[in-house]
Chains A and B, each alone.
Chain A
Amino acid sequence: MSLNRDEFGFDAPVPLGHPIRSGLPDGQSTGPEIGDRLPDFVLPDASGTDIAFHADRGTAKAVLLFYRSAVW
């Protein structure tokens, strides 16, 4: 298993060097910075209903989380 372990110390059931195991390259931006207003967007939820981010949020604080897959 240690043959499959990456430089950060993590294993995966996929060979090292596979693009699916890629992480943030040096100097890569991670989008909006502290102080920036998050860009608005409209996307459907799990029931197919369109959600407009800032409108849906109203005046509440929010956590917006980007993940890789709900399938794999």
Chain B
Amino acid sequence: MLAAFTEKQRIPFPLLSDIDSEVIRRYGILNTQIKPDDGFFYGIPFPGAYVTDGDGRVIAKFFHDTYKIRDSAELLIDAALGRVTLAEGAPKAASPDGDVKVSAVLHGGQGTLRQGIRRSVVVRFELGDGLHIYGEPVPGGMVATTVAVTGPPGLVVEQAILPPTKPLVLAGMDVTLQVWSGTVDIVVPIYPTSELASEVRPLDSNNATIEVAVRYQACDSDACLLPQSARFALTVPIDVTEVPAIDVHMGHGQREGAYDGNPHFKRLIARKSKKLEDWMKTDG
């Protein structure tokens, strides 16, 4: 039935079938909280993703304490490419400020929020030639770059992910500064919990306003501009969850799958029950 799913969902990458969870076990990610006689769902993994380099070595991993948090494809792609690629039409607020442009973008998933889907607010600085902004630690009197993101109740905001700084030693100074220059992306992962968007009831609200407060100070090798504060507000649509068209998920106001999943579900349960019977006979 992967063929039906692939076709109906228009999935352009291979979906592989690990029928007996052999690869899941080999990778060490079998969900061992589930016992064989708990039911048809025995054998599922702890869900997550690995991103590899060209040699097949892991460069990033995305696993979470709860299976309800899933990473936006854009986060996986950014990890693979080693840079943030912002979509043209993403919700964005910008303050054009001459030598320093600052913008805040809701990155991923065509700019919508859905239960448990981990997207990010990206604060992008575009610094003119010769200018830099500061990471910690900053000497007294200087202002480090900070980003604070707040949203409605139910929006979880994770700690900002800062790119690596470069050390800068100014002539005549005895201190090493940590700086960023050029285009600098600060990534703040966010996701809604069910308080904001729940898969068991229609949405309470169709939009969320996310506030982004940025503070920074730009300098060149001779002089510093005054520290700046910028505030942005992004109003983004909240979307329902996509659920398979099987009875347990239907009628909750979510976006139900394009084809009747019940026959597939029944076949799966039958196949797994038969397997369990066989397993119990041979294992004793």
Given contacts A30-B61, A70-B5, contact A24 B46 (CB under 8 A): yes
Complex contacts, A33 vs chain B, CB 8 Å: 58, 61
| B250 nearest in chain A by CB position | A13
- Distance between Cα atoms of A25 and B34 in the complex (Å): 12
- Distance between Cα atoms of A46 and B18 in the complex (Å): 11
| B249 nearest in chain A by CB position | A13
Q: In which size bucket is the chain A interface?
A: 35 or more
Residue from the list B34, B66, B156, B252 in contact with A20, Cβ < 8 A: B34
Q: Name the distance in Å between B16's Cβ and chain A's nearest Cβ.
A: 4
Complex contacts, B57 vs chain A, CB 8 Å: 35-38
- Distance between Cα atoms of A21 and B65 in the complex (Å): 11
Q: Is B283 an interface residue (CB 8 A)?
A: no
Instruction: List residues 17-72 of chain A with CB under 8 A from any CB of chain B.
Output: 19-25, 28-39, 41, 43-47, 51, 53-54, 56-57, 59-72
Q: Is B173 an interface residue (CB 8 A)?
A: no
CB of B199 within 8 A of CB of A12, answer yes
CB of A43 within 8 A of CB of B18, answer yes
CB of A44 within 8 A of CB of B17, answer yes
- Distance between Cα atoms of A38 and B268 in the complex (Å): 29
- Distance between Cα atoms of A70 and B24 in the complex (Å): 15
Complex contacts, B45 vs chain A, CB 8 Å: 66-68
| A18 nearest in chain B by CB position | B38
How many residues on B have C-beta within 8 angstroms of the other chain's C-beta atoms? 73
Q: Name the distance in Å between B256's Cβ and chain A's nearest Cβ.
A: 13
Complex contacts, B59 vs chain A, CB 8 Å: 34, 61
CB of B56 within 8 A of CB of A20, answer no
CB of A19 within 8 A of CB of B201, answer no
Interface string of B61-77 (1 = CB under 8 A from A): 10111111100000011
Q: Name the distance in Å between A5's Cβ and chain B's nearest Cβ.
A: 6
Interface string of B30-60 (1 = CB under 8 A from A): 0111110011010011111111111111111
CB of B38 within 8 A of CB of A19, answer yes
- Distance between Cα atoms of A60 and B63 in the complex (Å): 22
| A65 nearest in chain B by CB position | B49
Interface string of B227-265 (1 = CB under 8 A from A): 000000000000000001010110010000000010011
Binds A, one of B106-114, B181-189, B190-198, B207-215: B190-198
Q: Which residue, of A45, A53, A63, has the highest number of chain B Cβ atoms within 10 A?
A: A63
Given contacts A44-B16, A46-B6, A69-B41, contact A19 B50 (CB under 8 A): no
Chain B contact residues, CB within 8 Å of chain A: 1-3, 5-6, 14-18, 22-24, 26-29, 31-35, 38-39, 41, 44-61, 63-69, 76-77, 80, 115-116, 154, 156, 193-195, 198-201, 244, 246, 248-249, 252, 261, 264-265, 268
Chain A contact residues, CB within 8 Å of chain B: 1, 4-6, 8-14, 19-25, 28-39, 41, 43-47, 51, 53-54, 56-57, 59-72
